[in-house]
Structure 1
Amino acid sequence: MASDLSRRKYLKYTAGSLPMATGLSGCLGSLGSSPIRLGTILPLSSSTLGPIVQDHLAAVEQAVADLNSAGGPLGRTVELTVEKTDGTPEETNAAFDSLVEEGVAGLVGPLTSGNSLSLADRLAEERVMSVSHSATNPKLETAGTAEKTKYFGRTIANDAQQATVMAKILEGERYIDAETAAILYVDNAFGGGLADEIERATSDVETVRIPFDGGKDSYSAEVGALMETDADAVAFVNVPGNNTVIEALGKSEYDGQAVLSTGYLTGDIPDYMDGMYSASVAEANTTGEVTLRQKLRDIEPLRAYTLQGYDALFLQALAIERAGEASGTAISENLRAVSGGRGHTVSVDDFERAANLFEAGREVNYQGASSSVDLNENLEPLNPYIVERVEDGTVRQLELLQESYFEGGQGQ
């Protein structure tokens, strides 16, 4: 087929006539005109997590809109299937069954570490790629692997990083300088995993663990148990969105200091958080972040992990474009190439430019809305973190820890 018009642009400009032009299929190779099916699994029907993930869904849908307005991966429309769950592993696995039946190549989610761990082996079996924007358990570092191909990745850092920062705040002379600390944590895969990492990272602090169940109306017993420990400080670990436990702690007579897991210091800060520290993922403050926040301005301030949700979908589309194939294996094998290296920089809503670069035989390096999202061999990034503290109702940034601080698996 002699033409100097690119195959991608040919598809874009003649999409309306392609269904009738059956003779073009051999000339256009495997591109076709059928939609590329991607999905997301989110606990939208959960009373606790539903309000949070509405923002995440908006970001994923924005990524789809940006892709399709640019012609779509391989010149094909992205169709997003949204699976709503109550947040349990049972419903998450049922949602995954539905996505497999739909023929999705990749998905965004699951939200939590527990659900991601429950799905990991099945991802590898079905050869479906999952990129979570919020699951942080360290066990996911090697999860979802079959025949040396990893079908689970994430755009949020491994909790080993967060634990390093929380430990720094607990034992550092510049901060709390505690001798004893209680770890008050939600009793699930996320909370238990992060509590384990905090204990490993605190070499100079004696720790005691106090687990709690989510969804209770009162946590007076847990706060009472904390006060009985007479600990100098408390490391508080929970999924942001439900402030019942931290409110009970903040309004109690406990006179030690507290460090919060990430995601709590957004929006209006309640008075009971005054004096509390946080290990917070640093915002990218890049063109991509500014662009996405502008697109999502109707829902500002954005909830934790929203920016990561956009990156999780957009990266998969870039991987499909680079591979020339819409499959879970193709996504996995191309994610690192599009997220890092020495390629030409692309960012939020830059898909058409990326596709043109690929067509010219060049590489791209996606600089995301949430961070640079440079994925390692385990398909997860290192993120910069900020030590923050609430002072008189204002969040004050005390120290920025760049990605290099965490290289080698521990803080320096």
Structure 2
Amino acid sequence: MNTYVSRRGYLRLASTLPATGALAGCLGGRLGRSPIQLGAVLPLSVDGFLGTVAEHHQRAVEQAVADVNRAGGPLGREIELMVEDTELNPKRARKALQTLSDAGAIGFVGPVVTDISMVLADELPKKDMFAVSPSSTHPALASAGMSGGTKFFGRTAANDIQQALVMAKVLNSDHYVGADTVATLYVDNSFGKGLADTIESNVSGDVVASVPFPTDRETYSMQVAEIVNSGADAVAFASEPGNTTVLERLTESSYGGEYVLSEGLIPTEIPPHLDGMYSASVAATNTTGAIELRQKLRDIAPLAPYTQHAYDGLFLMALAIHQAGTATATAISDNLVSVSGGRGQTVSVDDFERATTLLDAGRDVNYQGASSSVDLNANLEPLNAYLIGQVDGATIAELELLRASFFEGRMD
């Protein structure tokens, strides 16, 4: 009887067998089941909200590793996880990257913030290492980490162009704000500036003020005064979750315009000063996978923003390795699009054993993540559906769903 084994399945089978006999010679090297080194690069020593984000990301990545290893691991090999602290310091981030490289890591989840991702992206090809960021969203990262036709940087969070286009739609449309004049108020870093620039280039009204603000202050009198004096019909507010003191100060002022908020700024318990504000956010996917991950991490609920994206990043790298039949950074890059989307069989959180069974049989898989469908494009970033929402007392009213097709042809 002839038994069919796909080429991918053959390579995976070979990687789990002893390095003896003709098979070892045929494949040109010693075979074995040595662990695959992957990492996480997170700002673990930072205090406050971002420190909590880092802790939750670490837990999510550890959970993904546990789920993958319990299912036998990619290519029948365990993943060994190394977690490195960036301290939000470029020098420390480069040291973390070197530590991972010295240990033989081929990929990692991170960085968390755009500024650190910008620092490390160009280093990745030199280290032959792949990074998948769960939360760095700057448009410039769409082309980051490219060398010799291989992209060594991907992300499971959407490109900021998407939320900028949604915010601009809210500002432009008479159905929502219909602003003739617009001000932007944004956190003074690469993320905030990039988002504000994209919003400003897509609004139909006149931009009458563009105001950056620093972090970690209690008073923002100069920034608030500039917005008030602009007389703008609406303000587009761009900041990271947890960094909203200036927004609260603006609502305490005489400013009477409308507000449109970037993603992740509305907490579970909504404070009164946010009432009536519009928001742009990735359409939540209350799928079985999302529910299962929340259950696995229920001791740290509610999960910090982008925690689900961290789980998805590690799981996708493991799937890409298994599909490729080899554990390299290039293999991850070349296979991420295939395992994240397309017409394959749907797999999700903690489905690694089912996924590898399908892949070994020559079938394609389509990972539907905890964060979203995570259908990655050629830039190794997702194109997600977005929701326009508006705070209504203690809840957020969902006003309009913008499907992924809304953004096609608008992302350049």
The TM tier, using the shorter chain, reads: over 0.9
Given that 2:232 and 2:257 are in contact with CA atoms closer than 8 Å, whether structure 1 keeps it comes out as yes
Check 1:225–1:207 CA distance in 2 against 1; reply closer, same or farther (3 A cut): closer
CA-CA distance at 1:125 after TM superposition: 1.6
- Partner secondary structure for residue 123 of structure 2: helix
- Is 2:92 aligned against 1:91? yes
Tell me the distance in 1 between the aligned counterparts of 2:11 and 2:304: 36
151-160 vs 51-60, greater mean Cα deviation: 51-60
1:181 aligns with 2:179: no
Query: How many angstroms apart in 1 are the aligned matches of 2:26 and 2:352?
Result: 21
- Name 2:394's counterpart in structure 1: 393
Please report the TM-score for the alignment, with normalisation by the length of structure 2: 0.92
CA–CA distance in 2 between the matches of 1:262 and 1:28? 53
Give deviations 1:350-374, integer Å, cap 9, x for gaps. 1111111111111111111111111
Contact preservation (8 Å) 1:110, 1:135: yes
Query: Partner amino acid for 2:236?
Result: A
CA distance in 1 between counterparts of 2:256 and 2:44 reads 37
Give the secondary-structure state (helix, strand or coil) at the position aligned to 1:208. Answer: strand
In the alignment, which residue of structure 1 is the partner of 2:245?
Answer: 244
SS at match of 1:280: strand
CA shift, 1:77, in A, is: 0.9
CA distance in 1, matches of 2:4, 2:32: 19
Q: Which of 249-258 and 189-198 deviates more?
A: 249-258
Alignment partners' CA distance in 1, 2:257 and 2:44 = 36
What are the equivalent positions in structure 2 for 1:2-401 lying under 5 Å apart? Answer: 23=20, 26=24, 32-48=32-48, 49-401=50-402
Shift of 1:28: 11
CA offset at residue 106 of structure 1?
0.7
Scaled by the length of structure 1, the TM-score of the pair is 0.92
**Equivalent pair of 2:340/2:368 in contact (CA under 8 Å):** yes
CA contact 1:136–1:158 (8 Å) conserved in 2: yes
Summarize deviations over 1:226-255 as a string: whole Å, max 9, x none.
Answer: 111111111111110233222222333321
Shift of 1:213: 1.3
Query: Aligned pair in 2 of structure 1 residues 31, 174: CA closer, same or farther (>3 Å)?
Result: farther
Separation of aligned partners in 2, 1:178 and 1:9: 58
Contact 2:180 2:204 in 1 (8 A): no
Identify which range, 201-210 or 359-368, moves more after superposition: 201-210
**What is the deviation of 1:101?**
1.1
Q: CA deviation at 1:162?
A: 0.6
Unaligned runs of 5+ in 2: none
Residues 209 and 227 in structure 2, CA contact (< 8 A), matched pair in contact too:
no
- Read off the aligned partner of 1:44 and give its amino acid letter: L
- Relative distance call for 1:203 and 1:356 in structure 2 (3 A) is same
The alpha carbon displacement at 1:88 in A equals 2.3
**Offset from partner CA, 1:281-328 (integer Å, 9 cap, x none):** 111122211221121222222221111111111000000001111111
Deviates more, 1:84-93 or 1:274-283: 84-93
Q: Distance in 1 between matches of 2:275 and 2:102?
A: 49
Give the CA deviation at 1:11.
10
Whether the aligned pair in 2 keeps the contact of 1:52 and 1:241 (CA below 8 Å) is no
**3-state secondary structure, aligned to 1:26:** helix
TM-superposed deviation, 1:224: 1.6
Q: Deviations over 1:161-199 (max 9, x none)?
A: 110001111121111111111100011110111011101
Distance 1:201 1:100, change over 3 A: same
Q: CA contact under 8 A between 1:233 and 1:258: conserved in structure 2?
A: yes
Amino acid corresponding to residue 222 of structure 1 in structure 2: Q
The aligned amino acid for 2:280 is A
Range that drifts further, 289-298 or 190-199: 289-298
Tell me if the contact between 1:171 and 1:205 (Cα under 8 Å) persists in the aligned partners. no
CA drift at 1:148: 0.5
What is the DSSP-based 3-state SS (H/G/I as helix, E as strand, rest coil) of the residue aligned with 1:201?
A: coil
What is the RMSD of the two structures over their aligned residues, measured on CA atoms? 2.4
1:187-233 deviation digits (Å, cap 9, x = unpaired): 11101110111011112343420011112232122112211111111
Q: Deviations over 1:83-129 (max 9, x none)?
A: 11221222222211111111111111111111111111101222211
> CA 1:28/1:241 → structure 2, altered by over 3 Å: closer, same or farther?
farther
Which amino acid in structure 2 is aligned with residue 77 of structure 1? E
| Mapped contact 1:11–1:75 kept (Cα < 8 A) | no
**1:31 Cα deviation after fit:** 5.4
CA distance in structure 1 between the partners assigned to 2:26 and 2:142 by the alignment: 38
Distance 1:28 1:369 in 2: 40
Residues 61-95 of structure 1 deviation map (CA, whole Å, 9 limit, x = unaligned): 11111001101111111111111122122222221
Unmatched 5+ stretches in structure 1: none
Amino acid at match of 1:384: A
SS of corresponding position for 1:365:
strand
Corresponding letter in the other structure for 1:32 = G
Deviation at 1:410, TM superposition (A): 5.7
Find the aligned partners of 1:319 and 1:31 in 2 and give their Cα distance: 20
Count of residues in correspondence between the two structures: 404
